[in-house]
Structure 1
């Protein structure tokens, strides 16, 4: 399946920034310039800029343009944007991420899940537990719930690849917004078994609800990783 155009643009701009083609604290060419160069829409370029900003590579100033951030001394390889919508394989590389399916079932939602996903008790949901591996090493334990009515024909073949790619490219659904809660928790038996965590290891937990552009919740999930394998970061920008 072809990579989304904005990801192709973002990857090329990321290479240029790392090669020093664009200097830090200097503005990038405007969106129209890149739109013509890559033969894409300005919206596609904007999405590429947004992705680079989430990664801390650029920042935007209202009325002035988009600037190269430069090297961030506290940035590490395990840092991940807390506000991304593109999925783990697109963040870290399709060849480096694998998925082990621990549980996959269709069931009726309990009272809390009805509230989380704004559905009726008679509307079935997917209950998915996956271990995501990075270069064959345990990275994230993901427990995800999604309404069947919004994501028909979800199967294990898709779960081994990318649910988000299936949602965006096959079903043509777009994420609108998300509410994310990040906290530290104690390792439970699943964390010890699948993440190789010790009983007293801190676990970083990301709980979230994601809505489509029409306001319908499409995902409730809890993702957990060992404290020393992944950080969540946010580039905060005072645009004014």
Structure 2
């Protein structure tokens, strides 16, 4: 990771954690040069990255300010696929995960390509339904390389996989590429999501990466459309 990207990530973390609040002015460029031990060009590139992400805004003659956005309310593309996980997005609800299938398999060529591995290597295949206060929200179909995410067991799957990755394995989750599309449910989804065959669902297809660029997850999450929200920030 380049230095300006590290600085942008650190400032974004401070915004997300509430150290910098909406409408707060960030330190001046010369102050951040001293704080991070870098040149003004590096700080400017970090600020430009944050501006492009929609996190901050530059005001001519005044400085750089945190945008007035409630970052706790702006989910990413999928509530179940954010890096806080499904559990983190429903902290005030009782979360239950029902494991439908859990096995070690060889990936298909398509999945192997997504995960940058060979078809003779092994992945976990996980199919589970996520409930909040006894209401089914999403059924997830997940593939993870066992050499990247070792030691997965059913007790982990019943809770938060992301928490296990970061707190137990000490790996750093970095980014994800996601695609959202509308579908009709299959029989398994009709039964487990408690919906009719003509009830629309929303699929979130995801490839997720660690901070070293290694893909560690390929998944498709099928959401009940009445319990799914898409929120985003667009910046020109």
Pair in the same fold by TM > 0.5: yes
Task: Count matched residues.
Answer: 194
* Partner of residue 148, structure 1: 146
Take 1:230 and 1:178, find their aligned partners in 2: how far apart are those partners? 19
| Residues 182 and 205, structure 1, Cα contact 8 Å, conserved in 2 | yes
Q: In the TM superposition, what whole-angstrom CA distance separates every residue of 1:72-112 from its partner, at most 9, and x where no partner exists?
A: xxx8xxx8421732211112217532111111001111211
Take 1:125 and 1:82, find their aligned partners in 2: how far apart are those partners? 25
Take 1:65 and 1:135, find their aligned partners in 2: how far apart are those partners? 38
> Does the residue aligned with 1:222 lie in a helix, a strand or coil?
strand
The within-5 A match list for 1:65-214 is 65-69=65-69, 80-82=75-77, 84-93=82-91, 95-214=93-212
Q: In the TM superposition, what whole-angstrom CA distance separates every residue of 1:108-152 from its partner, at most 9, and x where no partner exists?
A: 112111111111122110000010001111011011000000111
Q: Structure 1's 95 and 59: CA in aligned 2 closer, same or farther, altered over 3 A?
A: same
Q: Structure 1's 190 and 80: CA in aligned 2 closer, same or farther, altered over 3 A?
A: farther
Take 1:59 and 1:148, find their aligned partners in 2: how far apart are those partners? 35
- Where does the alignment leave 5 or more consecutive residues of structure 2 unmatched? 1-11, 29-34, 37-49
> Does the residue aligned with 2:227 lie in a helix, a strand or coil?
coil
* Partner of residue 213, structure 2: 215
| Residues 80 and 230, structure 1, Cα contact 8 Å, conserved in 2 | no
| Residues 59 and 237, structure 1, Cα contact 8 Å, conserved in 2 | no
> Does the residue aligned with 2:139 lie in a helix, a strand or coil?
strand
Deviating 4+ runs (over 6 angstroms)? 6-9
| Residues 101 and 129, structure 1, Cα contact 8 Å, conserved in 2 | yes
Larger Rg: 2
Q: CA deviation at 1:8?
A: 11
| RMSD of Structure 2 on Structure 1 (CA) | 3.1
> Does the residue aligned with 2:88 lie in a helix, a strand or coil?
helix
| Residues 25 and 64, structure 2, Cα contact 8 Å, conserved in 1 | no
